[in-house]
Amino acid sequence: MSTIDLTTPDGTIDALLERPSGPGPWPGVVVLHDGLGMSADTRRTVRRLSNNGYLTIAPNLFARGRVRCVPTLLREVVTAAPGVGTRDILAARELLAADPDCTGKIAVVGFCLGGGFALLVAPKGFDAAAPFYPSGSGKYADFLRGSCPVVASYGKLDPANPGRGPKLERTLTEYGVAHDVKTYPGVTHSFANETPAEPLLRVTGLGYNDEATEDAWRRIFAFFGEHLA
């Protein structure tokens, strides 16, 4: 795994890039971090995708400073109005598309804030999108027309996304978009992320859930196998 400079319309930011072992070309995946930024958990996600045969990049959406970026990016996903975050993500996609080791088929995976962006950019040239408990606008009909196929994962106990899994499924069905949307019982927001607060969350019975996480990734890889082939 290497750190690279990613040129975007709004300047240069850093990004993680990981190539699978063995001969290419490979499909590509853009990984979008959650509100904790470029964490060890982000690196684990990049490695998981690479180990499964995907050329993977994770742009640092907070590269311009967390205090400056977080309000701007939250406003972008809440209003579903493309801005600097969207441009950074599309620049990461373009870098993969220009790589001779990429097949040209590219997906986006995101968590929380990154999940919101994964949905926001789903109609913008990607071949599949995999949001985990996406933050932001729940007015899916406003921005998902023309979306790529979507495989989404929600937690039934997530206070940030009440009823949004079925709502997303209804919207994608209405728009004729291939999808696999699942809401996991007994888990909450960030069930697929291991965070520094994990020891405290485990005491409450919440936090990371291995069973739901592994099932979500099983669904994602099956979905990618179909839509990125």
Q: DSSP labels for 148-183?
A: PPEEEEEETT-TTSTTHHHHHHHHHHHTT--EEEEE
Q: Per-residue pLDDT tens for 1-43?
A: 899 999 999 999 999 999 999 888 999 999 999 988 899 999 9
Question: Could you tell me what percent of the chain has a pLDDT over 70?
Answer: 94
Q: Per-residue pLDDT tens for 102-153?
A: 999 999 999 999 999 999 999 999 999 999 999 998 899 999 999 999 999 9
Contact at 8 Å (CB) between 136 and 80?
Answer: yes
Distances 20 to 29, 50, 51, 52, 64 between C-alpha atoms, Å = 12, 5, 6, 8, 29
Contact at 8 Å (CB) between 17 and 57?
Answer: yes
Q: Specify the range with the lowest mean pLDDT, choosing from 6-10, 27-31, 157-161, 204-208.
A: 204-208
Please tell me the pTM assigned to this model. Answer: 0.94
**Nearest-5° angle of CA 85, CA 224, CA 216?**
85
Q: Sheet harboring 128-132: ordered strands across?
A: 2-8, 11-18, 55-59, 26-32, 102-111, 128-132, 150-155, 179-184
Tokens standing for residue 65: 């400073």
